[in-house]
Amino acid sequence: MRVTVVRGDITAEQVDAVVNAANNAMRGGGGVDGAIHRVGGPAVLADCRARFPRGLATGDAGWTTGGDLPARWIIHTVGPNRHAGETDRALLVSCYRRCLEVADELGARTVAFPLVGAGVYGWSVEESAGAAREAFDAASTAVEEARFVAFSDAAYEAASAALE
């Protein structure tokens, strides 16, 4: 699997699936989650409600329609919230591992990732990228490209250093 890092807006990526850094409720939120729901439109929330009536556990992943996004699917994953006491790094690694497993179930070959857990959930870009690298190195997947999409120049530099 090829791992790349780009600077941009994950909602505009031309890939099979985009990964959403969701919250447990699976009803939209701020940051990446809010942007994906806004651009994806009401079909995304409707699919979240239908597929995840009780939400999703931390470290797990599931999929919905891409709605109005260029991507066909959204793979939602719930990262651990360090500020809420969820400091087990294995949960962060699990997010990336589960995303690849869901991508394989869907037949997705190109997947755009945010830096799960980095930002409001309190993990650094380096910690998130390191967890991704660990999951990817151990994965047996048909995904051909894992593309990390950094929203800021600082995140792009840190992710590039950690992943490439």
Q: What is the pLDDT of residues 3-31, one digit of tens each?
A: 999 999 999 999 999 999 999 999 999 99
Residue 86 has a pLDDT of 97
| Mean pLDDT score of the chain | 96
Side-chain half-sphere exposure of 70, counting CA atoms within 13 A = 10
Instruction: List, for residues 91-142, the tens digit of each pLDDT value.
Output: 999 999 999 999 999 999 999 999 999 988 999 999 999 999 999 999 999 9
Indicate if 33 belongs to the active site.
yes
Structural domain for 26, as ranges: 2-163
Catalytic residue among 9, 16, 33, 153: 33
CATH code assigned at 55: 3.40.220.10
Q: How far apart are CA 111 and CA 142, in angstroms?
A: 11
Q: How many domains does the chain have?
A: 1
